[in-house]
Structure formats: C-alpha cells, structure tokens
Amino acid sequence: MNAFEEKFNNEEFLLYLLPSVARKMSRTCDAVYTEFGLKITEWRLLAQISRFGSISAKEISERISLDQVSISRAAYSCVKRGLIKEIPDADDRRSKKLALSKDGGSFIDRFLPRACLLAEAMESGLSAEEVATLKTLLKKLDGHLKTMSQVAEADAAA
C-alpha cells in the first residue's frame, strides 16, 4: 500500500471525517428542525436574518456558502409561512432584502432556546477548552478554504 492509499484508507482522512461529522450533526439537528417544521436551509436562512436584520439572499448565500437557488427556495417557504418578509432594497430597486416578520421574531424566540440546548448537548462531549479549540480551527480552515476557492475561481476564469 502506498502513502496515498494509506492516508485515504485511514478513518482520520479529512475528506472523510468532516463530512461524516457534519452528516451526524445534521441528523441530530433534524429532530429539532422537524419539531418546528423547518428544513435545514430554512433554519440557516432564519438564523442569518435574525442575526443581521435586513439582508439580501446574495449576502446570506455568501455568508453560509449555500447556492442562491437553495436560499430562494427557503425564502419562498419562509415567506409563505409568514416568518419573513421581502423588502425592496433602497440601493437596488431590482433586488429585495429579507427581514423577519413579527411572527418570525416570535418563532425565533421559541426556536432559539431549543437550538442552543442542542448545541450545548453536542458540545458537552468536549471540554470547554476543546470546544474553543475546535471552533478556532474550524474558522481557520474555513478561511483557508475560501482562499483556495477564490484562487481556483481565478484560475478557471483565466
């Protein structure tokens, strides 16, 4: 077995490990999302709108690395449920900003404590120092991957 095969067959191979953990987290979260009638994309959209107030679908897409089609579907569903509203963008009349409706704010007030308890339960398998280190490393890796993505896009455009 060569060095590449050895790395690939190892359960610690990053391209295996991160998606595996992410899928397990998503399945664990799914019960809470389902309890509130949400899909993962809808929750991520609501979380961004709740954090930043009036925000465009494009800005959300960039913040959470999700394609605009998925964001548009989630926005449509949340508008239909009365959780968010679309507001004309003062800077660009062709686009709209998304904001929580009054019902959406109430929904977040009910949902957020449940989501925080779930996050705390997940983190309880680690020490406080390990949680801080994990978050620091994930942010660092995310920044590095963004740089790699930008370089790849520039190379493709050239």
Where does the pLDDT of residue 150 fall: very low under 50, low under 70, confident under 90, or very high at 90 and above? confident
The Cβ of residue 111 has, within 10 Å, a number of other Cβ atoms equal to 19
143 shares a domain with 110? no
Distance of CA 86 to the CA centre of its chain: 21
| Count of domains for the chain | 2
Same domain, 84 and 104: yes
- How many helices (H) and strands (E) in the chain? 7, 3
* 19 and 74 belong to one structural domain: yes
Mean pLDDT, the chain, rounded, equals: 89
Arithmetic mean of pLDDT, 24-37? 88
Question: What is the domain range of residue 151?
Answer: 126-158
Same domain, 91 and 130: no
Q: What is the mean pLDDT of residues 118-138?
A: 96
Same domain, 115 and 143: no
Are 105 and 98 contacting, i.e. CB atoms less than 8 angstroms apart?
no
pTM (2 d.p.): 0.79
Residues for the chain: how many in total?
A: 158
Note whether 23 and 79 are same-domain residues: yes
pLDDT score, position 111: 93
Which residues are within 8 A (CB) of 136 and not within 5 positions of it... i.e. 6 or more apart? Answer: none
CATH code for position 109:
1.10.10.10
Check pLDDT > 80 for residue 153: no
Q: Are residues 100 and 157 in the same domain?
A: no
Average confidence (pLDDT) over 57-78: 90
Residue 40's nearest CA partner among 53, 54, 26 is: 26
Whether residues 16 and 76 fall in one domain: yes
